[in-house]
Structure 1
């Protein structure tokens, strides 16, 4: 479904005339629809959920000198539980989220047992410095939620034949809620309908849910394996 079709459905729901064009229209109401469409699309993208459609892998290659690496051009954010994996180490690099702790790493002359990383200044910083030919890979969430009829994906709607890469139903219901809200006529049902559509899209996004038989080993969110190998005995 194109953004033109989505806006046409929204207009019928909120009592506006069905438009023939949207992005090229000079009508104030259609310009409002474009702004609302892009706002709701960004809100869906930035929900606390790692949409599989928007996940991408970035590979960084060391040269033995460089500490900083540019973020991907389409970078929106890291995954909720993002980890960096290096060809040099057998475990994920440690994420330093505290800026003072990173300064301590720079100031104290101690070489970390494993790699460490932080993001600031729109760059990823990795220590120790990556060796020549060493690769570091990580997943991130792309900001490009719009698919054009031709060409590369992009972050916003710019043509009537653009399509939304995530849930079109959530986009449509979110636009209805947002439009009515800014006109002062929104109801609790509008927000509820959007929230339900968003939840359904999230629930369906990860694919089928496996059925586990027997007593599975308990897993705790956020807990990492301390040593990912079997310890042998004498």
Structure 2
């Protein structure tokens, strides 16, 4: 399912004429649908650590810039030394100032301003950083991006979620009852998350 097919599926439900194109269109309904598709997709991408969005990068030293598509670290053990030992996260800049100056026996890391710092610095060489990418859309030719670029773009998560996310937003915006559609979206989202994790 592409951006265009998802939006046209919603058009069928809400009794709008189908669009030949939505990306770059001037039609107010197309612009609204496009904005809702972006909002829905961003929410769906944020709500889970989708397998297709999980990435890893190997450090050659520290401090190091995080990849351009970095959204957030994978929870629980996102950074490992080259030997496979977990690197402890530090989330407070004051604590980091003390820890990094002391050259700790247990490696620690701190993320700020798109960079990762590791102490002691030698622990960063070959360390793996697992993260969630902010790029939830696939374009043609294949590239992963964080915003729609064409009608034939596709999301990296279960595509039916995009359709359901657009539908309840459309109904809410028009002042129509949307609670059932939202409940269906939430149930389907949870099912898709479980399936993506291999627990359904």
Q: TM-score range by the shorter chain?
A: over 0.9
Structure 1 contact 82–140 (Cα < 8 Å) conserved: no
1:138 aligns with 2:129: yes
CA contact (8 A) 2:70 2:131 kept: yes
TM-score (norm 2): 0.93
Could you list the runs of 5+ residues in structure 1 that have no partner in the other structure? 210-234
1:1-234 alignment runs, 5 A limit? 1-47=1-47, 49-62=48-61, 67-87=62-82, 89=83, 91-106=85-100, 110-130=102-122, 134-207=125-198
Counterpart contact for 1:149–1:161, Cα < 8 Å: yes
Give the conservation status (yes or no) of the 8 Å contact 2:71–2:134: yes
TM-score, normalisation: structure 1: 0.80
**Aligned residue pairs, count:** 200
What's the Cα RMSD here? 1.8
Q: CA deviation at 1:90?
A: 5.2
Cα offset for 1:208? 5.9
Distance across 2 between alignment mates of 1:57 and 1:180: 39
Q: Decide whether aligned partners of structure 1 residues 82 and 37 sit closer, same or farther in structure 2, where only a CA change above 3 A counts.
A: farther
Segments of structure 2 that go 5 or more residues without pairing to the other structure are none
1:15 offset after TM fit, Å?
A: 2.1
Larger radius of gyration: 1
State the shift of 1:72 in Å: 0.7
1:97-156, Cα deviation, whole Å (9 max, x unpaired): 22221122245xx3311211011122111111137x921102111111111121311111
CA contact (8 A) 2:81 2:128 kept: yes
Paired residue secondary structure (2:57): strand
Identify, as 1 or 2, the structure richer in helix.
2
Conserved 8 A contact 2:23-2:34: yes
Shift of 1:190: 1.3
CA distance in 2 between counterparts of 1:101 and 1:74 reads 27
